Chains A and B, each alone.
Chain A
Amino acid sequence: MKFIKNNAVKTLRLSRRELLGGMAAVSAAAFFPWATRTWADSPGATSEQAIQDFLMLSERLTGREALDARIAGRVWQALLDSDERFADRQRLLAQAMDDANLIDMRSFKAFAATQPEALTQTAVAIISAWYLGFTGSVQGHSATDNTRFITYTGALMFEPTIDATVIPTYSRGHSDYWVDPPASIATD
């Protein structure tokens, strides 16, 4: 390697700790959000049943048959962290869907019209996380926001177009393939 590493490298860890220590009186997180931004990938064992319920609810809401259980754990945890009453809302939503016998999601709008706004929002928040692969709102020009990562290649929004475009960063084929439209163009 040709990089000249000055002696910063050896002492970097120590000095950063000092840096943080000096600011400990204030909340370190306020200055260094990166220091606290990681979160648990898998919730505790006590949550297993809740996640199982959540997985089934997610499959109903998205019309998918086999969603990834570990991704379900991520969504559940992210929504729970953003709203401490999420577990209740999830239960209420499932109950309301059962009561209204909502099986075909084509009837969701009619269902939503009869439900409290918060309940609809809970449903959309769950669907949104699975489709977009993140929760929260992106702040374009800030190093921090309230978003949580869920999945990228697993985001359901890519499924409907996977034969035509790409999941960005992954290639479709040789250069200039894009000169032609997708094979489906006549029926799109």
Chain B
Amino acid sequence: MRLPSSWLLGVAFMFSLASHASGAASPSNAANVDDELIQQGEYLARAADCSACHRPPEESGQPFAGGYVIASPMGDIIASNITPSREYGIGDYSEAQFKRALTEGIRADGAHLYPAMPYTAYSGLTDDDIHALYSYFMHGVEAVDEPTPETSLPFPFNLRVSMAAWNFLFLDDAYTHDPEQSDTLNRGRYLVDTLGHCSACHTPRNALMGENNDRYLAGANVGGWYAPNITSDASGIGNWSVEELVQYLRTGHVENQAQAGGGMAEAIEHSLRYLSDEDLHSMAVYLKQVPPTATGPAIDVSQAPREVEPVSPATLEPLRNDDPQAMSDGKRTDGQTLYNGACASCHQIDGQGTDDQFYPSLIHNTATQGPNADNLIMSVLQGVHREIDDYTVAMPAFGEQLNDEQIAAVSNYVLSQFGNPELDVDAARVTELRQGGPTPLLVKAMPWLMAAGVIFALFVLGLIVFLIRRKRR
């Protein structure tokens, strides 16, 4: 069964915060906890998008009950139960233990969390916010007394203790308030860096899966999708207005510009659409002044220059071969044929979408005009699903209807007719993205590293034996 993508999917190690029943101090269950504080905590939990991972496998399940299986390059991660269940959740956590998990990645029993739990971002949480979050999770969330399966990654990723070394390398100094900057910028940065942990997807990772801070928010691959450059460079969001960014963060849709798919759609659905206008504005203002990192030519889809040549109906609608085998032949790899059969019903023959742009233009669109075609391919493979306040966007997945050659062909037709004609998609890329995107170097290299480790261990062993024998002599 194919799993829905998570917006953290494939980023890195996902964490497992399974609480083990222990004799730890029980939390206060005082009934007089401030409702306002709980609401504040709920808002923060939305902003931090805790439910993106800590959700049940089926949509109808209880919030934060965990159990959702996330495919990561290192193996399947089971999201843990973070309801206040004392046996299966975090009901026994003290506020100090809760804070340590959030900001240092160490759970109550002392074990390290995997850094896909974005504690590197959450390390900047203010004590007030941690208090509000704690109050919410302890008193505003219903306990679910059901266990989730343990995550068991293959060796050596199952060695949680190795995270101590990783933290030494990558757990940076946290966000602090900068009195030199406006409140709006400070708030925006806090929302982007700490709560929203935007960099978890938008900043590329280095060989050890730590964020590459030199390329902060400059775009990265996430489980096949491309989380684009959102720095202020023209190849990022430099040509977006603050208003457009706010609209995008709230709805995932800016007419003739861009639509959110994959993990970004989930982030909007579960988190960003619930934020106040003021907070979204702060995020947009902050993003607009993030130092530019160029990742290619400027993107300005509003002025995409393409004139689409009208296609003759005679080309569009070739005379049919009524042979039953020809009528059944679903393996054609002619991009125009595939586009017209599979895409044009919604995006229209001329790629302009519908007049109301409910079905968006493929011409004025970052998915077709961007620096790479990954999001176009992923949209075709997995479809797009995005529930927002007024309606739900749902492009169906074509991954089962079209094979990799066909998806490459239809993508190339879209790019050549409507999008960035410089781009070219080959079937191998589709195959790779179908499997969740490029495998990180760390995982690819692991067999070699392990082999090297074994050789090294044998060498050391041999050396010891040699030394002992010599000593005995």
- Given that A34-B323, A38-B322, A171-B346 are known contacts, is A151 also in contact with B317, CB under 8 Å in the complex? yes
Q: Report whether A173 and B324 are in contact in the complex, using a CB–CB cutoff of 8 Å.
A: no
Q: Which single residue of chain A is at the shortest CB-CB distance from B354?
A: A173
Write the A162-188 contact mask toward B (1 if CB under 8 angstroms, else 0): 000000011111110100000000000
The total of chain A residues at the interface (CB under 8 A) is 26
* Distance between Cα atoms of A41 and B313 in the complex (Å): 12
Q: Report whether B359 and A173 are in contact in the complex, using a CB–CB cutoff of 8 Å.
A: yes
* Distance between Cα atoms of A35 and B322 in the complex (Å): 7
- Binding site secondary structure of chain B: loop
B312: Cβ under 8 A from any A Cβ:
yes
* Distance between Cα atoms of A34 and B325 in the complex (Å): 10
Q: Report whether B313 and A68 are in contact in the complex, using a CB–CB cutoff of 8 Å.
A: yes
Q: Which of B199-248 contact A (CB under 8 A)?
A: none
Q: Which of A13-71 contact B (CB under 8 A)?
A: 33-35, 37-39, 41, 68, 70-71
- Given that A71-B313, A151-B313 are known contacts, is A170 also in contact with B344, CB under 8 Å in the complex? yes
A149: Cβ under 8 A from any B Cβ:
yes
Q: Report whether B345 and A74 are in contact in the complex, using a CB–CB cutoff of 8 Å.
A: no
CB B93 to nearest CB in A, in angstroms, measures: 45
* Distance between Cα atoms of A38 and B322 in the complex (Å): 7
Q: Report whether B323 and A35 are in contact in the complex, using a CB–CB cutoff of 8 Å.
A: yes
- Given that A151-B313, A172-B354, A177-B356 are known contacts, is A37 also in contact with B322, CB under 8 Å in the complex? yes
Q: Report whether A152 and B322 are in contact in the complex, using a CB–CB cutoff of 8 Å.
A: no
Q: Which single residue of chain A is at the shortest CB-CB distance from B318?
A: A41
* Distance between Cα atoms of A176 and B324 in the complex (Å): 37
The total of chain B residues at the interface (CB under 8 A) is 25
CB A68 to nearest CB in B, in angstroms, measures: 6
A154: Cβ under 8 A from any B Cβ:
yes
Q: Which of B278-336 contact A (CB under 8 A)?
A: 312-325
Q: Report whether A41 and B359 are in contact in the complex, using a CB–CB cutoff of 8 Å.
A: no
- Binding site secondary structure of chain A: loop
- Given that A34-B324, A173-B356, A174-B391 are known contacts, is A153 also in contact with B313, CB under 8 Å in the complex? yes
Write the B174-195 contact mask toward A (1 if CB under 8 angstroms, else 0): 0000000000000000000000
CB B170 to nearest CB in A, in angstroms, measures: 43
Write the B338-377 contact mask toward A (1 if CB under 8 angstroms, else 0): 0000001110110000111011000000000000000000
For residue B354, which residues in chain A have a CB less than 8 angstroms away from its CB? 171-174
Q: Report whether A170 and B319 are in contact in the complex, using a CB–CB cutoff of 8 Å.
A: no
Q: Report whether A68 and B319 are in contact in the complex, using a CB–CB cutoff of 8 Å.
A: no
Q: Report whether B359 and A171 are in contact in the complex, using a CB–CB cutoff of 8 Å.
A: yes
Q: Report whether B346 and A152 are in contact in the complex, using a CB–CB cutoff of 8 Å.
A: no
Q: Which single residue of chain B is at the shortest CB-CB distance from A37?
A: B322
Q: Report whether B319 and A70 are in contact in the complex, using a CB–CB cutoff of 8 Å.
A: no
- Given that A170-B348, A171-B345, A174-B391 are known contacts, is A68 also in contact with B323, CB under 8 Å in the complex? no
Q: Report whether A71 and B391 are in contact in the complex, using a CB–CB cutoff of 8 Å.
A: no
For residue B325, which residues in chain A have a CB less than 8 angstroms away from its CB? 12
For residue B312, which residues in chain A have a CB less than 8 angstroms away from its CB? 68, 70-71
CB B347 to nearest CB in A, in angstroms, measures: 9
* Distance between Cα atoms of A171 and B314 in the complex (Å): 21
CB B287 to nearest CB in A, in angstroms, measures: 29
For residue B355, which residues in chain A have a CB less than 8 angstroms away from its CB? 172-173
Given contacts A38-B320, A173-B358, 5 further A-B contacts (CB under 8 A): A68-B314, A151-B313, A154-B314, A171-B345, A174-B356
List 9 tightest A-B contacts by C-beta distance, closest first: A154-B313, A70-B314, A174-B358, A173-B356, A34-B322, A151-B313, A37-B322, A173-B354, A173-B358
24 of the cross-chain contacts (CB-CB < 8 Å) are A34-B323, A35-B323, A38-B319, A38-B322, A39-B319, A41-B318, A41-B319, A70-B314, A71-B312, A71-B313, A74-B314, A149-B317, A151-B313, A151-B314, A152-B317, A153-B313, A153-B317, A153-B349, A154-B313, A170-B344, A170-B348, A173-B356, A174-B356, A174-B391
